[in-house]
Homo-oligomer: A and B are copies of this chain.
Amino acid sequence: MRSTDQIMHKAAWLYYMHGLRQDEVAKQLNISRASIATYLRRAREIGIVNISTSTQLFSDDVLARKLEDALSLDAVWIVPEDRLAIDPAAEMPVVAAAVFLELINKGDRIGVAWGRTVYHLADIMPYADLQGVTVVQLCGNLGAPYNYRPDQCTTEIGRRLNAEGINLYAPLVLSSERLASDLRNEPVIREQLASIADCQLVLYSVGGIESDSHLVRCGALTAEEMQALGESGAGGVIAGQVIDHEGRWLDCPHNRRCISADLEIIRTIPKRMMVVEEDSKFQPLVAAIKGGFVSHLVVTHSMALRLLARWEAEAPRRG
C-alpha cells in the first residue's frame, strides 16, 4: 500500500466510520483540510468508500409484485417514466447498476454479455471494492460502434468493481461452422465456456431482430440475413445467439458459427438479471422470459404494463 493510499484510508476511516469532521481529521493526520477533502473524494471514486442506496424505491410497487407473480420471476424493478423529472433513458442504467451491485455477493463469479445496454451500464457503473469477485465474458468479441468492445466492457466492469475480469479471446462469429466448432473445442476456450456454469449471476439484455438491430449494426449479420432469420422464427438475441419465440436456441447458420455461452448453461445460473431499456424490445423480451433466461428483471413502467397484459391474456388459456 502506498503511503498516500494509507493516508486516504485513514482519512476515510476517521471521517466515515468515526464521524469526525474534515477539520478534525486534518488535525489528527496533520495535513490541511483541503487535502482531506481531496483524499475523501478519491476514496469515494476508487470505491474505498461505498455509498449505496437501496433500490427498494423501484421494487416496492404493486405492479412489480404482480409481474413477479404472473411471470414467476424472483424480483422485478420498475423504472418510472414520469414521476421524477429525471431523464428516463438516463435513469435505467443507474437503476440497473444499483440492482446489479445489490445482487453481487463477495466471492461471486459473474457473467456479463454485451450490447448497448450492458455498455451503458459499464459506463456509469460506480466504483466499488468487491475483492474476490470475478467477471467473465459470456460472448465472443466483435467490433463495435461504441466506446467499449465486449472484452473492454468486461474489463471495465471488473476494474470498477475491483474485481478480476476474464476475457474470452475469440471472435463472436466466425466465417465457417467448422472453424467455430474447432475453436470451441480448443482447450482454453472450452474451459472458459464451461466455467460459465460456475457463475452465480449473469447480466445481459435481449437483442431485437429488426434490420437495424445490434448484431446487424456491429456487422455480425447483414440486414438481409437478419430478416431471413426473422422469417424463420427468430424471436430475439441472447448473448449473441438467436432464440425463437419460445426462447429456444434456433438452429441457424449464425448460431452455429457463434462462440458464446451455452444457453443451456445460462439457464442454470441462479440469478439471471435482464435489463431492457427500449420499449421496442417487447417481443424479444417475451421470448427471453419464456426461455427461462430471466430471474431478475429491470424494465420501464410501460414495458411492465405490456408484459403483464400479455401474461394475463394468456393465463385463461392455461388455467
A residues with a Cβ closer than 8 A to B are 1, 6, 9-10, 12-14, 16-18, 28, 43, 47-54, 56-57, 60, 84-86, 94, 98, 102, 105-106, 129
Pairwise interchain contact A28-B94, C-beta atoms closer than 8 A: no
> How many Å from the CB of A161 to the closest CB on chain B?
13
Known A1-B60, A60-B1; judge A84-B14 contact (CB<8 A).
yes
**Contact (Cβ within 8 A) A14 B51:** no
Contact in complex: A50, B51 (CB < 8 Å): yes
Question: Chain B's nearest CB lies how many Å from the CB of A19?
Answer: 10
- Between-chain CB contacts (< 8 Å), 13 pairs: A1-B60, A6-B57, A9-B57, A10-B84, A13-B53, A13-B57, A14-B84, A14-B86, A47-B54, A49-B53, A56-B129, A105-B105, A105-B106
A267–B106 alpha-carbon span in the complex (Å): 22
Residues of B within 8 A of A17 (CB): 53, 94, 98
Residue picked from A16, A28, A54, A60, most chain B C-beta under 10 Å: A54
Partner of A53, one of B1, B12, B54, B85: B12
Check A56–B48 contact: CB distance below 8 A. Answer: yes
Evaluate contact between B48 and A50: CB separation under 8 angstroms. Answer: no
